[in-house]
Amino acid sequence: MSTIIFFLPFILIYTIFAVYGERKISAFIQDRYGPMEVGKYGWYQTVADLLKLIQKEDIVPKKASKKLFLIAPVIIFTSIFCGFVVLPITSSWEGTLTQNGVYFLLAIVSLDVVGILMAGWGANSKYSLLGALRSVAQIISYEIPVTLSVLCVIMISQSLNLQEISYQQGILINAFPDMENVKNYLFGISALNIDVTNWGGVFTWNIFRAPVLIPVFIIYFISTLAESNRAPFDLPEAESELVAGFHTEYSGFRWAIIMLSEYGMMLLVALLGVILFLGSWNTPLPNIGNIMLANWTTGEPETIAGNLWSVFWLLSKALMWIAVQMWVRWTYPRLRIDQLMSLSWKYLTPFAMFLIFVSGLWRLLMI
């Protein structure tokens, strides 16, 4: 539970830099400079924006349902922030000791649909209502491929505990209680009898341990983009059609909270994706013969070096993945609502179901 003292300030600082990074990435992709005025290379642009936002008036539309309108941003942010409690940060600093952390995370994050619907409906504006309707339809549809793809990982790793899943994907696998004798085989196929437990690095990441998870990861990535209302699935806040979607009527600090939850959601799905597929806080460098790169860049649990290495790997992987999310956002045009639905129901969900079947078979190979 103590991870909250890390994640709360981290989300705030990360959002400031992520907004800056997003503006710069979009600018470079479009051959522009992006923010350049406030500070060197515009470093403080987001800080200045934030200061401006805080000073703005908190406007409540006259015809809005005041209670719903005021409380909605809080619910959105709370539900997304609650998802962070189960995430481990380092090899010895884990979230709450829930054995079914993944379930809790998927369940609590779905609650932000309620907040979005409250925001859109309570504002009593056509744009907001349309945005909220789209958002709810989209998030509920895409929750299914997300859950199915997470289920594949759970079948491979046989655990709902995120810290256990993390330990499985590195050289420290035997340091976790009840896993003293577990071995990692190349591609997870025990018949090959190539023991990679001491290799570590990418060879023990889930996408390498069970290559069936690579297409699963792609499905997870696409559907989490839709979950966090990011382009190309940003129909709920389609600027050209709906002004700003469900948060059209918000201003000042409440708007900032909604923005914060959007970026928080990006971070959450990136962290979860890294933990489930990309080796969590484990190093990508394997041991090669006598060069013990994996051991050097992992450190022992409970030591300062071990903590620093694992938090470094976890966050750098997650932030890299956020950069990819931004890259995708500034590359693709927005989907139409029917395309969005057909992508979810006709393509991602059947494939995810099929991959669950394959993952089950793969698990048999791993024993």
Partner 1 sequence: MKKKQGKYWKNIRIASSTLFQGLIQTSKHFRKAFKQRNAIGVEEENYFHRSDGLQTVLYPHELLPIPDNGRYRLHNEMDDCIVCDKCAKICPVDCIDIEPIRAVEDLGKTSDGTPKRIHGAKFDIDMSKCCFCGLCTTVCPTECLTMTNEFNFSEFDVTKHNYEFATLTPHEITEKLEALESFNKEKEKNELKNKESKVEGTQPRPKIKMKPVIKDSAIEEPDKNVSGNIKKPKFRPRPIIKKKKED
For partner 1, the binding residues (CB under 8 A) are: 25, 27-33, 36, 327-328, 330-332, 346-347
Q: Whole-number minimum distance, CB 25 to partner 1, in Å?
A: 7
Q: Whole-number minimum distance, CB 240 to partner 1, in Å?
A: 19
Cβ atoms 87, 137 nearer than 8 A: no
Q: Whole-number minimum distance, CB 36 to partner 1, in Å?
A: 6
* Beta carbon nearer to partner 1, 72 or 226: 226
Q: Whole-number minimum distance, CB 27 to partner 1, in Å?
A: 8
Residue written as tokens 């923005």? 259
* Beta carbon nearer to partner 1, 34 or 301: 34
Q: Whole-number minimum distance, CB 32 to partner 1, in Å?
A: 5
Q: Whole-number minimum distance, CB 78 to partner 1, in Å?
A: 35
Residue 68 CB contacts under 8 Å (≥ 6 apart), including other chains: 118, 119, 121, 122
CA angle 184, 185, 187 (to 5 degrees): 115
* Beta carbon nearer to partner 1, 296 or 332: 332
Q: Kindly report the number of other CB atoms within 10 A of residue 137's CB atom.
A: 17
* Beta carbon nearer to partner 1, 215 or 284: 215
Q: Whole-number minimum distance, CB 331 to partner 1, in Å?
A: 4
Give exposure, 247-272, as e/b (b: 16+ Cβ within 10 Å). bbbbeebbbbbbbbbbbbbbbbbbbb
* Residues 293/189/87/91 CA torsion (nearest 10 deg): -30
d(CA 128, CA 242): 8
Cα 86 to Cα 6, 9, 108, 200, 315: the distances in Å are 13, 17, 11, 24, 16
Q: Kindly report the number of other CB atoms within 10 A of residue 80's CB atom.
A: 26
* Beta carbon nearer to partner 1, 2 or 339: 339
CA angle 55, 77, 24 (to 5 degrees): 65
* Beta carbon nearer to partner 1, 28 or 354: 28
* Beta carbon nearer to partner 1, 36 or 293: 36
